[in-house]
């Protein structure tokens, strides 16, 4: 009887004994290893955690992750994770005298951060180009999803090492939204985990390339500045007009040339006093002109003239009392009367000339 009771207690203890929690580990962006043991639910006790790539030299956790005051994980940094991920990784959970140890393969358990600096550009080839950045691009596969006018997402794969994507001949009246995610490529030990989707880049009818753009509110002083500027401008215009700094001069429109004759006086709009100077009746007074000719004594003696004078002076005199109007019908000559007079010098003058 005591033997049967002891056997029954052993069986009941084995059934109700709680199994140790499973530990899951993940390499996060080659910066640290994140391990957790709450997959089956939160543990009943707080375990002490240690891990490392060398089973004999495990490193105690320095950064625990807790939930409701219960430790559920650990984030531990390691060097050269890009290469050490191909090695076995060992973990140990300890509580009191109980210890649970496991080993893990981290080659396909790498989680990258989402791509950064996602931008969009309308290229010179009239195509829409999206660009982004990611760690170790030669070892990264990318995947994009985009949609037009908030319709369903279309997913497209991007070749390894490529960090750009093209949408051919986009419509200027449509709105395009694109996101991208990454994972380690097969040539570097393909990962089973994709990163989260990046922040969207948007290009639409307003050519907006800002992600989640929100128009910032105008500063409080901007409306006041506009009001003061308008008031100063109006005040300056009033002062300039008051001091006659600005004058508005109206200029008559030049008439279009044609065969019809226009009265220039009416067009120019002269004053009455100035208009009188444009009369077409002009009078020109003749002026007297005299010419004197010197005649020698010998020429005078040989002449057949009955006069005994040695000098003769012929004077052509124009009658200045006659006015000759200049008209188109006349030839411009003046009707002047000419008279001839003979001047006889005295004896003394003759002697002086002979000397």
Would residue 142 count as lying in a domain?
Answer: yes
Examine the fold and report which residue of 65, 92, 110 is the final residue of a domain before the chain moves on. Answer: 110
Would residue 139 count as lying in a domain?
Answer: yes
CA separation, residue 339 to residues 4, 288, 313, 314 (Å): 187, 12, 12, 9
Domain hosting residue 48, numbered range? 20-110
Would residue 303 count as lying in a domain?
Answer: yes
pLDDT at 124: 87
Q: Are residues 98 and 118 in the same domain?
A: no
Name the domain count of the chain: 4
Task: Going from the first residue of the chain to its last (355 residues), give the mean pLDDT of each consecutive group of 10, the final group possibly shorter.
Answer: 50 50 94 92 91 92 92 93 92 92 93 95 90 92 94 94 93 93 94 96 67 49 83 85 62 61 54 58 62 56 46 43 42 42 50 50
Would residue 10 count as lying in a domain?
Answer: no
Would residue 222 count as lying in a domain?
Answer: yes
Q: Are residues 191 and 139 in the same domain?
A: yes
CA separation, residue 98 to residues 37, 217, 270 (Å): 16, 61, 122
pTM to 2 decimals? 0.54
Distance CA 229, CA 240 (A): 17
pLDDT at 334: 41
Q: Are residues 225 and 181 in the same domain?
A: no
Which helix (DSSP H) or strand (DSSP E) does residue 353 occupy? Answer: helix 347-354
Distance of CA 104 to the CA centre of its chain: 56
Q: Are residues 106 and 24 in the same domain?
A: yes
Would residue 4 count as lying in a domain?
Answer: no
Q: Is 23 left (phi over 0), alpha (psi -120 to 50) or beta?
A: beta
Q: What is the DSSP letter of 229?
A: H
Q: Are residues 118 and 134 in the same domain?
A: yes
Would residue 209 count as lying in a domain?
Answer: no
137: domain CATH number? 2.60.40.10
Q: Are residues 105 and 156 in the same domain?
A: no
- Side-chain half-sphere CA neighbours of 7 within 13 A: 4
Would residue 270 count as lying in a domain?
Answer: no
Q: Are residues 125 and 142 in the same domain?
A: yes
């Amino acid at each position: 009887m005591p033997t049967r009771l002891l056997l029954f207690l052993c069986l009941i203890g084995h059934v109700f004994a709680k199994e140790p929690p499973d530990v899951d580990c993940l390499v996060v962006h080659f910066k640290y290893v994140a391990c957790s043991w709450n997959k089956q639910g939160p543990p009943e006790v707080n375990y002490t955690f240690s891990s490392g790539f060398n089973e004999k030299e495990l490193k105690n956790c320095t950064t625990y992750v807790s939930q409701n005051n219960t430790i559920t994980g650990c984030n531990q940094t390691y060097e050269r994770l890009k290469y050490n991920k191909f090695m076995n990784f060992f973990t140990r959970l300890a509580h009191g005298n109980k210890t649970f140890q496991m080993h893990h393969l981290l080659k396909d358990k790498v989680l990258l951060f989402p791509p950064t600096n996602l931008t969009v550009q309308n290229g010179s080839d009239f195509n829409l180009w999206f660009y982004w950045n990611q760690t170790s691009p030669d070892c990264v596969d990318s995947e994009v999803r985009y949609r037009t006018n908030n319709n369903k997402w279309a997913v497209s794969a991007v070749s390894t090492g490529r960090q750009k994507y093209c949408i051919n001949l986009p419509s200027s009246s449509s709105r395009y939204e694109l996101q991208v995610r990454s994972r380690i490529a097969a040539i570097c030990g393909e990962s089973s985990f994709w990163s989260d989707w990046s922040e969207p880049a948007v290009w639409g009818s307003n050519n907006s390339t800002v992600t989640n753009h929100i128009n910032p509110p105008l500063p409080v002083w901007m409306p006041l500045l506009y009001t003061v500027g308008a008031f100063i401008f109006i005040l300056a215009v009033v002062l300039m007009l008051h001091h006659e700094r600005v004058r508005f001069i109206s200029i008559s429109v030049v008439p279009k040339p044609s065969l019809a004759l226009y009265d220039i006086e009416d067009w120019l709009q002269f004053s009455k006093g100035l208009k009188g100077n444009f009369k077409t009746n002009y009078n020109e007074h003749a002026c007297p002109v005299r010419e004197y000719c010197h005649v020698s004594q010998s020429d005078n003696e040989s002449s057949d003239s009955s006069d005994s004078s040695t000098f003769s002076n012929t004077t052509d005199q124009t009658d200045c009392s006659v006015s000759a109007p200049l008209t188109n019908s006349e030839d411009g000559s003046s009707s002047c009367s000419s008279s001839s007079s003979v001047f006889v010098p005295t004896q003394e003058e003759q002697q002086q000339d002979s000397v």
